[in-house]
Chain A
Amino acid sequence: MKIVVCIKQVPATHEVSIDPETKRLKRESVEAEVNPFDLYAIEEGLRLRERFGGEVVALSMGPPQAQWALREALSMGVDRGLLLSDKAFAGSDTWATSYALARAVETVGAVDLVLCGKQAIDGDTAQVGPGIAAHLGWPQATYVSHVQDAGAKHLTVTRMNEDGHDVVQIDLPAVLTVVKDINTPRVPKLRDCRTALRAEVAVLTADAVRAEPARIGLDGSPTRVVKINPPPPRGGKTLVLDGSPAETARRLVHELRMKSLV
């Protein structure tokens, strides 16, 4: 089974804020990490390789420093890392990003399965996985929490929704997006981390994946960010209740009842 795992390097959440003077996102010098959901995708790829053999390729689109996300994937045990990086990709929205990633998957060739995290924790869109599936013309299953069974032609997986879950059978090649419940990602060994530091990460340009210039970057992106603002502050102050349990209960239930909430 030939598996491509798509991963994204994201800023650590608590580091992101808006510069009060320039009103722009402060992203420089911010600590970066592999998007947490993508670690589950990497782990699931490795487990499928252990069960069925084959190859796991980690793919990331981003600036040159995104190679570090790929090195983390390499330290966990993927066979190789591909960095899709080109100035022409700058400003890509989810439409253009999923197009570029789909072209890269086609360039890898003979891929059976693409695994993605459910969503990235910076954009939180969950759009790139289904977008890749649409660009490739492949079936998809999202919010996957379990891969029960795999054959040469199809997978049986569980996907979660708000009300419960579905068990679905999906033909290969396919795209899956995975949630945390699917596995516990392995912690890389120190020795493997060292090897990953020295490993070669191949860089793919827009030309190398034959991406049409009109479909990538800002030109290929139907959406535009008009403005960004800090969130509105939460109204009101914190009321500290530190009396006896009975007193606290009376006060709280009273407050909730005034608003018809209990």
Chain B
Amino acid sequence: MHTPTETDRAQYRNVWVIAEHRDGKLKGVTFELLGAARRLADARQSEVWCVLLGSGVRALAGECIARQADVALVMDDPRLAEFVDELHADALTKLIEKHKPEIVVCGATARGRALIPRVAVLTNSGLTADCTGLDIDPETGVLLQTRPAFGGNIIATIKSVSHRPQMATVRPRVMAEPEPQTARKGRVISEPLPTAVQHAARMKVLQAITNTAEGIHLADADFIITGGRGLRGKKGFELLRRFAHLVGGAVGASRAAVDAGWIDYAHQVGQTGQTVQPKVYMACGVSGQIQHLVGMQSSDIIIAVNKDPNAPLMKLADFAVVGDVFEILPAMMDEIRRV
């Protein structure tokens, strides 16, 4: 395998953000990444490029520029309307080969985590998953990527020394979103879907279903209220849903509650569910097994409500409420409505 030389590396320039969008709207993680990319590009004295792959995505270019992109690199084609891993990965690979970015970042979402590992293999690049910190090493100019591993029990710093681009997926909701500046100017570069990529797709999306009934999704929520075994059944989750609706939050669940069939797996937080990092994580009747803690221990504020003051989560929490969920939650809802 060819290990790139200093001369090869010198051709690679600029920081790319791979935009994520759904139903014609950019996702928050794209803005967060544009903010991070601005800082990295300034340190490297280079540009921020926002890559838009999809159908009808040309319309999103202005918004990327307002949020710190210098260039919107657009590949707008109806064949990219649905996320087909292989097709999107091949298209992005062609863009990377042509324009040679030094750094490529993408949200560590279901889509990003499917797309970017494939592209890293195709472009022979180093990739670090689920980063929570990105910095430029002031001495070498190399990207330092910080990420939790072993369920958050360690924090590792990783770099790609010789291969370019340096690639990372970044956890949503960790980096700050820059404010839009509507007066900002930038360039738009449009690229056609390469002919080499127009092969018959070996996967097709038959149906794309959004869980509208569930309100706000775990990944997007500032406030997550989670229920465990202490909720005693489906009815307990009705109370959590009312609470979540009142505070504009999302409902999570422990593995025990999901396995008991009280709520869908899509709500499960923890090792075999989702890792979340909201501003407020309020756990109701969740004892806090290690497998649960690894999925939520990076939340800003943790509130635990439990009858048992010795439950592990009560020790970790910022606020440990000793009491009955069915009394505490209605009292809090009254208090929130009152003022």
Contact = CB atoms under 8 A, between A and B. Distances in A.
A122 B149 contact: yes
Nearest to A238: B320
Interface residues of A, number: 89
Given A131-B118, A139-B85, A145-B265, A170 B202 contact: yes
A200 interface: no
A123, A134, A160, A179 pick with most chain B CB within 10 angstroms: A134
B206 interface: yes
Interface stretch (B55-63, B153-161, B179-187): B153-161
A166 to B, nearest CB: 5
Contacts of B129: 94, 123-127
Interface string B311-339: 00011111111111001101110111001
Contacts of B111: 161
A173 B203 CA distance: 11
Contacts of A77: none
A220 B334 CA distance: 60
B56 to A, nearest CB: 18
A262 interface: yes
A168 B204 contact: yes
Given A25-B154, A255-B319, A249 B328 contact: yes
Given A162-B219, A225-B157, A249-B334, A131 B120 contact: yes
A228 B156 contact: yes
B254 interface: no
A189 interface: no
Contact of B153 (A94, A167, A231, A255): A231
Interface in A210-258: 212, 214-215, 220-232, 234, 236, 238-242, 245-246, 248-250, 252-253, 255-257
A128 B113 CA distance: 10
Contact of A95 (B127, B273, B297): B127
8 contacts: A36-B271, A94-B127, A130-B85, A138-B202, A139-B203, A169-B203, A222-B160, A241-B323
- The 5 lowest CB-CB distance pairs between A and B, nearest first, are A222-B126, A134-B121, A249-B331, A125-B129, A127-B117
Interface of B: 1, 22, 82-83, 85-86, 89, 109-111, 113-115, 117-122, 124-130, 144, 148-163, 201-211, 217-220, 222-223, 247, 265-266, 268, 271-273, 275, 279-280, 290-291, 294, 297, 301, 303, 309, 314-324, 327-328, 330-332, 334-336, 339
Given A95-B127, A242-B322, A261-B280, 5 more contacts: A130-B114, A222-B127, A223-B158, A227-B156, A245-B323
